Amino acid sequence: MRTTTAYIKKSNLIYNINRIKDLVNHSEILAVVKANAYGHGLIEISKILRANGIKFLGVAFANEGVMLRESGDTQSILVLIPAFPDEAQYFCKYNLQASISSEDFLIALSNESKNNNVISKVHLNIDTGMNRDGLIANDAINFMKEFGKLPNIEFIGICTHFATSANNIDFAKKQLAIFNNTIKNLEEEGFYFKYKHASNTGAIANLPEAHFNLVRPGLALYGYPSSAEIREILKVKPILSLKSEVILTRRIEAGESVGYDRLFVAKKPTTIATIPIGYGDGYFKTLTGRAQCIIKGKRYNIVGSICMDELMVDCGNDNVKPGDEVVLIGEQDSEQILADEIAAWAGTIPYEVTTALSTRVSRVYID
């Protein structure tokens, strides 16, 4: 078996759940587990969330909800991304809740629900400035008047999504004002919703007035808020570490090169360690010439072109040997590398770092 493994610390996840609960007071949590729980493992993470009082899970697509149902999950699951009409059958068969952005899918869901004698629960999605999905706010009343009482449909929620809650509070407050006004206008017309939700991770930290009675934390659950300021407010802990082992070492002389295209040429004699992880595992090739790892509590530069299955490390004259643990994400002794740092090296965001970890990397859940 491969030594390259992602270790998921369950106690840190539970800590993060409780930390978010403390911040949002009496609001319920809709835990977002899309994209394989941001790379941490959809089924196992969801089981831990359920065991710790999370009644709502959020996924991106119906197939993710189906996977949860087939794993034995029986509680509320909301599909966040607008679905196509021909997917309505899955929402009925697997009791999935839908985020509504158009009449086409809603009509198809009503027809399918009627044919199967079920009531489908849905959330009205309001676009307040993200311009990605959702109904235009000014169209909400007419939409509900025309489609709000379709047979076998129950509107239990209304939601929106913030574009800048982590870094531009003024714009987020404008979105919130539009959302509040839309809710007020709908209620004046007799349309009420049990659940109101808008807060992603940034809004949980920065906009307590947007917590309503349901919040939607994403990467914060996994310990990676979108900025240092939000991390300071939330005080959550990363739950994932990525580790491997040295498989080979060799001495090379000055002038010798390492890897494809000779991107690293030794200026003096040094020891090169080979590690069995590469871009086939989700460790980006764009980290070539930028990244570091930790071996025996010390940082070393990753050198040469990162390969599909392997990468190489310049260990100088240190006594590094096959079998030594290598930390790509996480801590060892007093050193630590977080996904934030890898994201900065690669010119991306922590979300992409964790979601990129491929199925070749085993997930092991530890207490």
Pick the catalytic residue: 149, 235, 260, 268? 260
Residue 272's H or E segment, with its range, is strand 270-275
Inter-CA distances, 9 with 95, 169, 222, 238, 365, Å: 31, 32, 10, 8, 6
Residue 34 among the catalytic residues = yes
Whether residue 99 contacts residue 93, with contact meaning beta carbons closer than 8 Å, is answered with: no
The residues, any chain, with a CB within 8 Å of residue 278's CB and separated by 6 or more, are 285, 306, 307, 308, 309, 310, 311
| Close Cβ partners of 66 (under 8 Å, ≥ 6 residues apart) | 90, 94, 96
Q: How far apart are alpha carbons 280 and 361 in whole angstroms?
A: 10
Identify the active-site residue in 9, 34, 121, 243. 34
Q: How many residues does the chain have?
A: 367
Taking the C-alpha atoms of residue 202 and residue 208, their distance in angstroms, rounded to an integer, is: 10
List active site positions. 34, 260
